[in-house]
């Protein structure tokens, strides 16, 4: 969202070149700070010489453009590439250093680069620097320069975000937390530490090249130790190990001097106060608190627009209120499927597409879910079971196969105990265990946040169904989840923690199939085996390389159980 706003701003302020220039510098320092965040925030290496790589990138691009007529874009990439190579060179000796010693080594590097650039007067212009650095005519206006910098910043942001959620980012974070433990589990610590230095240096090189062409003047003093400390301050204020932190830190760093420009207050004092305040009271950086504000408040707007609004099935009036459901097929064998938490009847659509013609499937939205009415009173599995009973009675179903997934598994156990004469067989798929789940009350805070965060719901559902690849399917599930009754977000968790059907299950004589995916991250195999052992006529089925959602990850295995005669 913030990147869209940043892309629109210059068109609203086209006549205000001053503000656009400030925002352009914000983009430059954001890129440089991203690189430092990779080195320090994610891989845990201390660097106080990051500005040296900005210097390398700036002078490389400037000299190529001015003396060899290289296009500016290629000059910027070349600046990043040369900085990348220097990052590799520095990364190797840095492997033997850590903590205070690595900080001193990188500090010596930035001082050495500054002196080197100052001494090569015939090439770099010495300490006087280089003036009138050109920018191509196609990028000549302030808005065009800003958009170019913003494009580079966004590309670096996406690259950084992808890396942090991939193997590389996880390796960096493991090294940061405990290098010895990381090496024990097979992470090549040397490789990843050098890679962090190289990629971080490359981003600084790109930032330096952009700075040179945007400002039009560079000197060795522009990239000295003080600039490295400024980049460190940006990272700390914005938030170490935060993808968004560099942007927030840069906004404060660049904008603050202009806010105090009419005063006689030293900026060193201002930044010192800010750093002390952040370290003492906001140690995770301001990006963390922006994140909390967004998920608690701003995401309510997003949730409002993403919530499902059109029923996808039909309604039936029951003694427990109006229930929305899907009916699929016209076969002679009825099947009732009860969904789990944070989903709806639509969860079974991939399974229904593979269901043979001899079956007729009925998939209701449980009360509190989807388009069904809210369940009165407290949330309990027995209450949901009464709603299933009312649904079945309203349809006049008998001798049907009953299937329950996750929370729905606990619901159908409760229903089957009192209505086994109506059931042909019971299939529990990655079900809530026979005697409740151990869910800590600390999780209730997170569950309340889910109410307004479709992305969090979607990520959770995708994590629990690793073998089902359709991302749009999970978008629909998240949109349906936003229709859940507010009390159900925590209420379902409480309900799953307060029941025990072991004694009643001993009297359940119908065939029971307990299906479990061995990659299930919510239910353990011991809980499922204990559940299967509680029924006198049961069978435990273990599915290999399947997660918590076997019915959509491996539908053919479930269909075999429907057809099996026991």
Residue range 193-235, pLDDT digits in tens: 999 999 999 999 999 999 999 999 999 999 999 899 889 989 9
Query: Does position 280 have pLDDT exceeding 70, yes or no?
Result: yes
- Could you give the CA distance from residue 543 to residue 429 in angstroms, rounded to a whole number? 11
Of the candidates 341, 130, 317, 102, the one whose C-alpha atom is nearest the C-alpha of residue 219 is: 130
* Widest CA span in the chain: 96
Q: Give the confidence band of 1 by pLDDT, cuts at 50, 70, 90.
A: low
Chosen domain end from 225, 246, 270:
225
Of the candidates 193, 273, 292, 175, the one whose C-alpha atom is nearest the C-alpha of residue 233 is: 273
Task: Determine, yes or no, domain membership for 234.
Answer: no
Task: Determine, yes or no, domain membership for 280.
Answer: no
Q: What is the pLDDT of residue 566?
A: 57
- Higher per-residue confidence, 137 vs 460: 460
- Could you give the CA distance from residue 275 to residue 124 in angstroms, rounded to a whole number? 34
Q: Report in angstroms the alpha-carbon separations of 6 from 1, 139, 147, 214.
A: 9, 18, 9, 18
Q: Which of 133-137, 155-159, 475-479, 530-534 has the lowest mean pLDDT?
A: 133-137
Q: In this structure, are 361 and 506 located in the same domain?
A: yes
Q: What is the pLDDT of residue 217?
A: 93
Task: Determine, yes or no, domain membership for 363.
Answer: yes
CB 241 within 8 A of CB 41: yes
pLDDT per residue as tens digits for the range 133-172: 887 655 667 888 899 999 999 999 999 999 998 899 999 9
Q: What is the pLDDT of residue 98?
A: 77
Q: In this structure, are 221 and 348 located in the same domain?
A: no
Query: Does position 181 have pLDDT exceeding 70, yes or no?
Result: yes
Write out the DSSP string of 75-128: HHHHHHHHHHHHHHHHHHHHTT--HHHHHHHHHHHHHHHHHHHHH-HHHH-GGG
User: Beta-carbon neighbour count of residue 356 at 10 Å?
Assistant: 11
Q: What is the pLDDT of residue 203?
A: 97
Q: What is the pLDDT of residue 14?
A: 67
Q: What is the pLDDT of residue 139?
A: 60
Q: What is the CATH number of the domain that holds 352?
A: 3.40.50.1820
Average pLDDT over residues 83-102: 84
Q: What is the pLDDT of residue 557?
A: 94
Q: Which of 18-27, 88-97, 120-129, 493-502 has the lowest mean pLDDT?
A: 88-97
Q: In this structure, are 209 and 327 located in the same domain?
A: no
Beta bridge partners of 327: 362
SS3 429: strand
Phi/psi for 425 (5° steps) reads -155, 155
Q: In this structure, are 190 and 324 located in the same domain?
A: no
The dihedral built from the CA positions of residue 279, 283, 286 and 287, taken in this order, carries a sign that is: positive
- Could you give the CA distance from residue 336 to residue 403 in angstroms, rounded to a whole number? 6
Q: In this structure, are 201 and 321 located in the same domain?
A: no
In degrees to the nearest 10, what's the CA dihedral of 290, 295, 296, 299? Answer: 110
Domain count, the chain: 2
Chosen domain end from 182, 209, 225:
225
Q: Give the confidence band of 469 by pLDDT, cuts at 50, 70, 90.
A: confident
Task: Determine, yes or no, domain membership for 301.
Answer: no
Which of the listed ranges 64-68, 129-133, 512-516 does the model predict with the highest average pLDDT? 512-516
Q: Give the confidence band of 365 by pLDDT, cuts at 50, 70, 90.
A: very high
Q: In this structure, are 323 and 188 located in the same domain?
A: no
Q: Which of 26-40, 376-390, 430-444 has the lowest mean pLDDT?
A: 430-444
Q: Helix 99-119 vs helix 51-68: angle between axes, to the nearest 10 degrees?
A: 30
CB 84 within 8 A of CB 202: yes
Contacts of 334 (CB under 8 A, 6+ apart): 359, 360, 361, 362, 397, 399, 400, 401
Q: In this structure, are 205 and 341 located in the same domain?
A: no
Contacts of 81 (CB under 8 A, 6+ apart): 202, 205
CB 33 within 8 A of CB 234: yes
Task: Determine, yes or no, domain membership for 281.
Answer: no
Q: In this structure, are 187 and 324 located in the same domain?
A: no
Query: Does position 269 have pLDDT exceeding 90, yes or no?
Result: no
Task: Determine, yes or no, domain membership for 130.
Answer: yes
Q: Give the confidence band of 3 by pLDDT, cuts at 50, 70, 90.
A: confident
- Could you give the CA distance from residue 171 to residue 427 in angstroms, rounded to a whole number? 41
Q: In this structure, are 217 and 343 located in the same domain?
A: no
Q: In this structure, are 79 and 191 located in the same domain?
A: yes
Q: What is the pLDDT of residue 193?
A: 92
Q: What is the pLDDT of residue 137?
A: 54
Q: In this structure, are 204 and 332 located in the same domain?
A: no
Task: Determine, yes or no, domain membership for 291.
Answer: no
pLDDT per residue as tens digits for the range 384-437: 999 999 999 999 999 999 999 999 999 999 999 999 999 999 999 999 999 989
Q: What is the pLDDT of residue 282?
A: 86
For 17, the domain range is: 2-225
Whole-number average pLDDT of the chain: 91
Q: In this structure, are 216 and 318 located in the same domain?
A: no
Task: Determine, yes or no, domain membership for 521.
Answer: yes
SS3 228: helix
Q: Give the confidence band of 9 by pLDDT, cuts at 50, 70, 90.
A: confident
Query: Does position 478 have pLDDT exceeding 60, yes or no?
Result: yes
Chosen domain end from 225, 253, 283:
225
Q: Give the confidence band of 299 by pLDDT, cuts at 50, 70, 90.
A: confident
Query: Does position 32 have pLDDT exceeding 80, yes or no?
Result: yes
């Amino acid at each position: 969202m913030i990147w869209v706003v940043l892309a629109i701003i210059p068109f609203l302020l086209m006549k205000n070149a001053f503000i656009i220039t400030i925002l352009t510098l914000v983009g430059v320092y954001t890129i440089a700070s991203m690189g430092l965040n990779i080195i320090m925030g994610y891989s845990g290496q201390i660097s106080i010489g990051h500005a040296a790589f900005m210097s390398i990138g700036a002078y490389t691009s400037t000299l190529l453009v001015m003396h060899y007529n290289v296009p500016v874009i290629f000059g910027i990439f070349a600046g990043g590439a040369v900085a990348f190579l220097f990052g590799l060179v520095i990364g190797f000796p840095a492997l033997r250093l850590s903590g205070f010693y690595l900080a001193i080594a990188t500090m010596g590097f930035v001082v050495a680069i500054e002196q080197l650039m100052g001494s090569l007067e015939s090439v770099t212009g010495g300490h006087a620097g280089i003036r009138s650095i050109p920018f191509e005519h196609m990028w000549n206006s302030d808005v065009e320069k800003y958009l170019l910098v913003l494009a580079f910043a966004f590309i670096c942001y996406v690259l950084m975000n992808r890396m942090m959620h991939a193997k590389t980012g996880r390796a960096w974070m493991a090294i940061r937390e405990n290098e010895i433990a990381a090496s024990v589990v097979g992470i090549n610590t040397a490789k990843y530490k050098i890679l962090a230095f190289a990629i971080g240096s490359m981003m600084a090189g790109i930032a330096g090249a952009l700075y040179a062409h945007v400002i039009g003047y560079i000197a060795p003093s522009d990239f000295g130790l003080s600039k490295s400390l400024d980049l460190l301050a940006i990272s700390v204020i914005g938030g170490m190990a935060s993808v968004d932190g560099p942007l927030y830190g840069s906004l404060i760093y660049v904008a603050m001097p202009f806010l105090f420009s009419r005063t006689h207050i030293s900026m060193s004092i201002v930044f010192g106060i800010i750093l002390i305040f952040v370290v003492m009271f906001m140690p995770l950086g301001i990006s963390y608190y922006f994140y909390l504000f967004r998920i608690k408040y701003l995401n309510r707007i997003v949730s409002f627009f993403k919530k499902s609004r059109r029923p996808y099935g039909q309604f039936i009036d029951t003694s427990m209120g109006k229930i929305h459901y899907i009916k699929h097929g016209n076969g002679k064998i009825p099947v009732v499927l009860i969904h789990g938490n944070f989903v709806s009847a639509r969860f079974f659509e991939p399974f229904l597409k593979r269901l043979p013609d001899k079956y007729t499937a009925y998939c209701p939205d449980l009360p509190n879910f989807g388009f069904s009415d809210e369940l009165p009173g407290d949330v309990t599995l027995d209450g949901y079971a009464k709603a299933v009973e009312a649904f079945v009675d309203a349809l006049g179903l008998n001798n049907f196969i009953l299937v329950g997934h996750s929370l729905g598994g606990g619901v159908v156990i409760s229903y089957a105990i009192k209505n086994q004469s109506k059931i042909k067989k019971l299939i529990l798929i990655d079900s809530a265990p026979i005697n409740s789940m151990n869910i800590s009350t600390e999780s209730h805070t997170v569950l309340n946040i889910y109410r307004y965060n479709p992305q969090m719901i979607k990520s959770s559902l995708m994590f629990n169904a690793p073998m089902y690849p359709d991302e749009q399917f999970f978008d629909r599930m998240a949109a349906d989840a936003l229709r859940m009754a507010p009390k159900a977000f925590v209420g379902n968790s409480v309900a799953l923690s307060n029941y025990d059907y072991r004694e009643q299950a001993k009297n359940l004589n119908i065939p029971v199939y307990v299906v479990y995916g061995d990659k299930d991250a919510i239910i353990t195999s011991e809980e499922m085996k204990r559940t299967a052992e509680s029924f006198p006529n049961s069978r435990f089925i273990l599915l290999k390389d399947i997660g918590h959602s076997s019915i959509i990850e491996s539908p053919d295995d479930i269909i075999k159980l429907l057809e099996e005669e026991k």
